[in-house]
Chain A
Amino acid sequence: EAQVTQNPRYLITVTGKKLTVTCSQNMNHEYMSWYRQDPGLGLRQIYYSMNVEVTDKGDVPEGYKVSRKEKRNFPLILESPSPNQTSLYFCASSQRGPPSSEQYFGPGTRLTVT
């Protein structure tokens, strides 16, 4: 089944404790992206990757890191999480660079930083 998977789905952590949210797609898609969703703000793009080893900042990259060493994986790294990073996070992928092709979204990761 074609899908985008994220792990973990739920995470509660403390301020300053490094964490990684994994994202993997099995569709051989070139483009991958991370978003955060907060009430009243819609989804905001954190980072995106047009292909392996190519990443660029979205609108809200501060406090986040990403890497794209393999085509299928695009992990989101929070080196020192803070409470303002409490949010719902989505990973997405598309066959080629958007916006011409549809994005496929993962199920979301609910992160709480205390």
Chain B
Amino acid sequence: AQTVTQSQPEMSVQEAETVTLSCTYDTSESDYYLFWYKQPPSRQMILVIRQEAYKQQNATENRFSVNFQKAAKSFSLKISDSQLGDAAMYLCLAGGTSYGKLTFGQGTILTVHP
């Protein structure tokens, strides 16, 4: 079984500032992957970043980076130089490699103020 928890239903940030969204997870899988997806008001699902659990190095994609703390089962997303287009719901996702079940967190709605 696996669970994913996003404890921040809503967050806000000023344009050009940095914000961190939190995600904790629990899984019985020894090998697993973690993802952050962005869902703008259009409801489209956009992959932001992916982390393989066996890699110690934190993943980075341009202004987006993660802080992966495997022992603490924490997977936070940091958005640097926030832009108005970053406003969306952000969803954390976990999945083990031994079967196809995937688990999302509850989501965090990010507002970016100009």
Contact = CB atoms under 8 A, between A and B. Distances in A.
A41 B100 contact: no
B contact face: mostly helix, strand, loop, or mixed = strand
A49 B44 CA distance: 22
B101 A108 contact: no
A99 B96 contact: yes
B33 A59 contact: no
Task: Classify chain A's interface size.
Answer: 20 to 34
Contacts of A102: 47, 50
Contacts of B40: none
A107 B37 CA distance: 15
Task: Classify chain B's interface size.
Answer: 20 to 34
Contact of A44 (B45, B50, B96, B104): B104
A107 B91 contact: no
B33 A98 contact: yes
B80 interface: no
15 contacts: A33-B102, A42-B6, A42-B107, A43-B104, A48-B100, A56-B99, A56-B100, A58-B102, A90-B45, A99-B93, A99-B94, A100-B33, A100-B97, A105-B44, A105-B45
